[in-house]
Structure 1
């Protein structure tokens, strides 16, 4: 997302109302390092991935018309929509790209507001499944009582069967 300080990230909708662009990258449970490249050059933001361990970049998305000022910081967040993932950022490499023409090199971008000419249309919000009202202890106790009841039924059934067998033997004597 591109934010000039006036937008709020909506966690319930995973930021889709302020999303500039996005893509899905399945990098969970792999035995090798995965890489993401973020490139900003000539007001074009490009995100590429190498998640198949092929040492080749695959473009995730590209957005033109992104205006970013200089003098700010990069931030990384561990917050995901699922909040159950654990992702480690091992390293961050920064490179300054060469300016090909002098007009862009002389432009003062320190006072411009972050902006973009294009935003992805928002997705429909799908409500999360209703969480269970049973806590872990309640579920454990319910399973324990159910197990005891099952064992009691089996024991009573065996006792009833043995009693029936004894009575049927006495009739034949």
Structure 2
């Protein structure tokens, strides 16, 4: 556990919370979709306060950039930015059509499994690959959308 806390120590200061630059990231329906389980919170040293979340990508890793979603609560975006620790990223949440980084609700997210994390947290840090040709593709996406919203496949296309 000490090893884990030491790894995260550099990323818990407020200076690590700045979100700089981004590119829009839209999913490709014709490619495999990887659903990444992540955990996020304001303080990575307080593991009990971390909340699980999902992010959809077409890549093996969560990339720097902005992902768009539509949920029962409306459209929102999540902007991810790397930190010095490749297992931790800053996530900025924008809702209600806001586009300014100054309006972002920023949190730190563990985006990869890290040795030393408690088993309960490690259980959330899984990846599920949804094959492009999966016969249950539509139903699987509907199931995940209930929890994480529908991902954007193009500007305004969910």
Interval of TM-score (by shorter of Structure 1 and Structure 2): under 0.3
More RCO (CA 8 Å, sep 6+): 2
| TM-score (norm: length of structure 1) | 0.21
Radius of gyration: which is bigger?
1
**More strand by percentage:** 2
| TM-score (norm: length of structure 2) | 0.22
